[in-house]
Copies of this chain bind each other. A is one copy, B any other.
Amino acid sequence: MKTVIESENARRVADLTRDYEALGEQLDRRGIDIAAIKDRAKGFGVAVPSWGTGTGGTRFARFPGDGEPRNIFDKLDDCGVIHAMTAATPKVSLHIPWDKADPAEMKAKAEEHGLGFDAMNSNTFQDQPDQAHSYKFGSLSHTDAATRQQAVDHNIECIEIGQTLGSNALTVWIGDGANFPGQTHMGQQFDRYMQSMQAIYAALPEDWQIFSEHKIYEPAFYSTVVQDWGTSLMIAQELGERAKCLVDLGHHAPNVNIEMIVSRLIRAGKLGGFHFNDSKYGDDDLDSGTIEPYRLFLVWNELVDAESPDLNLAHMIDQSHNVTDPIESLMISAIEIQRAYVQASLVQRDVLAGYQAENDALMASATLRRAFRTDVEPILQMARLEVGAAIDPVMTYRASGYRANVGQIRPKVSGAGGGIV
């Protein structure tokens, strides 16, 4: 891989140097030091979800791709490629039970690729073979105490696995809710959820955080227990200091101003991090930055503005790659998130503050747009080049023949039908 990167980079370095210099000169006129921005780009990282390396699907169908990973070790290999190419994804986020395996072997494999482990993700929205109690009617908020206990135990197991791997956070997303008005008592259901979460929180190690992730709908289509950030905030407040709210960009009602939610959660001291993706309709789980790139920038604008040693956020990509090579989508997505972060770093905050103080709405707005429309591609490329990653990750990856190679080893998984049959 290293050889391919070097040979591909060699073809592009001259043009890059020219573009980087021209941009540096332009930024200098704005009083911005391009090298400092490039250092910020180098310091950026977003976690890759292990399951994102497989081809996703909808309830209608899943169309498999070539060389899909068969297990967590294959997934870690794929994550290794992504990080080698982009230098922007230093951590992997696991999903239990999908990723259950020998911890020592997993750590060894991760270290081989220079990867660490991010937040653990539990799964109580599906039934596993030989599971005692079904989650058909809920998990942490189920009316049946034994089912709730089973879900609590599973989350505690996720923590335990995570401890062996060096993770220090648990993300809890559940599909519990209802498909019909009246199906559940919404207040009592939430009470049951809180009791379960308190049991999990009691088992949380001192240096861990727990994230509650809200979602307006799906898989429940009338009501969802953790339906929005207001409920998520109530949860984090009730649980305690180590409980935070995780924001998934696709889990909101139409038209909602997400960057404002970011601002509010920061104020409440309860922002825990993000699940990045993009969407046009619902929880479309499309590649980050491909539908509404300015929205992604505005989210980062809040995050950069609020940067402080106290604000340690867990960022992960959470997408479903249905029609692309997942490795390519994850590389491109990591870069688009990084791009928004870098663009947000170009906002001239003192200038902006001046316009805001004078209610000069036009120039305040123009100040953001000026940062957004700056083509920071040379900064991202140079940051990658300098740490040995690829100037052009997709073309370099394609040149490497990685997918064809693993396609030889990993048999094609015939497309499991969606839930619609």
Residues of A near any B CB (own CB < 8 A): 15, 18-19, 22, 25-26, 29, 51, 54, 56-63, 98, 125-127, 129, 134-137, 143, 175, 178-187, 190-191, 216-219, 221-223, 227-231, 233-234, 252-257, 259-261, 263-264, 266-268, 279-282, 284-287, 289-295, 298, 301-302, 305-306, 320, 322-325, 328-329, 332, 352-353, 355-357, 359, 361-369, 372-375, 377, 394, 414-421
Residues of chain B contacted by A252 (CB below 8 angstroms): 253
Instruction: Please provide the 3 A-B residue pairs with the shortest distance between their CB atoms, ordered closest to farther.
Output: A57-B419, A230-B230, A253-B253
Which of chain B's residues has its CB closest to A225's CB? B260
Q: Are B261 and A230 in contact (CB under 8 A)?
A: yes
A63 CB contact (under 8 Å) in B135, B254, B264, B281: B135
Q: Are B61 and A223 in contact (CB under 8 A)?
A: no
Which of chain B's residues has its CB closest to A291's CB? B222
A153 to B17, CA, bound (A): 55
Q: Are B181 and A298 in contact (CB under 8 A)?
A: yes
Q: Are A420 and B56 in contact (CB under 8 A)?
A: yes
Residues of chain B contacted by A259 (CB below 8 angstroms): 181, 186
Which of chain B's residues has its CB closest to A297's CB? B181
Q: How far is the CB of A239 from chain B (nearest CB, A)?
A: 14
Residues of chain B contacted by A293 (CB below 8 angstroms): 294, 369, 372-373
Given contacts A260-B227, A420-B57, contact A137 B359 (CB under 8 A): yes
Q: Are A414 and B291 in contact (CB under 8 A)?
A: no
Q: Are B230 and A180 in contact (CB under 8 A)?
A: no
Which of chain B's residues has its CB closest to A232's CB? B230
Residues of chain B contacted by A421 (CB below 8 angstroms): 51, 54, 98, 416
Q: Are B365 and A183 in contact (CB under 8 A)?
A: yes
Residues of chain B contacted by A328 (CB below 8 angstroms): 362
A344 to B231, CA, bound (A): 25
Given contacts A290-B180, A394-B366, contact A356 B223 (CB under 8 A): no
Q: How far is the CB of A49 from chain B (nearest CB, A)?
A: 11
A369 to B135, CA, bound (A): 26
Residues of chain B contacted by A261 (CB below 8 angstroms): 230
Residues of chain B contacted by A368 (CB below 8 angstroms): 181-182
Q: Are A183 and B361 in contact (CB under 8 A)?
A: yes
**Other CB < 8 Å A-B pairs besides A126-B418, A182-B367, 15 of them?**
A63-B134, A143-B357, A143-B359, A179-B322, A179-B323, A180-B290, A217-B280, A230-B230, A234-B264, A255-B280, A282-B282, A320-B419, A332-B362, A374-B375, A416-B416
Which of chain B's residues has its CB closest to A279's CB? B221
Q: How far is the CB of A301 from chain B (nearest CB, A)?
A: 8
A387 to B137, CA, bound (A): 37
Residues of chain B contacted by A137 (CB below 8 angstroms): 323, 359, 361
Residues of chain B contacted by A219 (CB below 8 angstroms): 58-61, 322
A206 to B362, CA, bound (A): 42
A286 CB contact (under 8 Å) in B221, B291, B323: B221
Which of chain B's residues has its CB closest to A21's CB? B22
Q: Are B183 and A323 in contact (CB under 8 A)?
A: yes
28 contacts between A and B (CB under 8 A): A15-B29, A57-B420, A59-B59, A60-B175, A61-B125, A61-B135, A61-B175, A62-B419, A136-B359, A137-B361, A181-B259, A182-B352, A182-B365, A183-B365, A187-B267, A187-B302, A216-B256, A218-B282, A221-B285, A222-B280, A253-B255, A254-B255, A287-B362, A293-B372, A324-B362, A373-B375, A416-B419, A419-B419
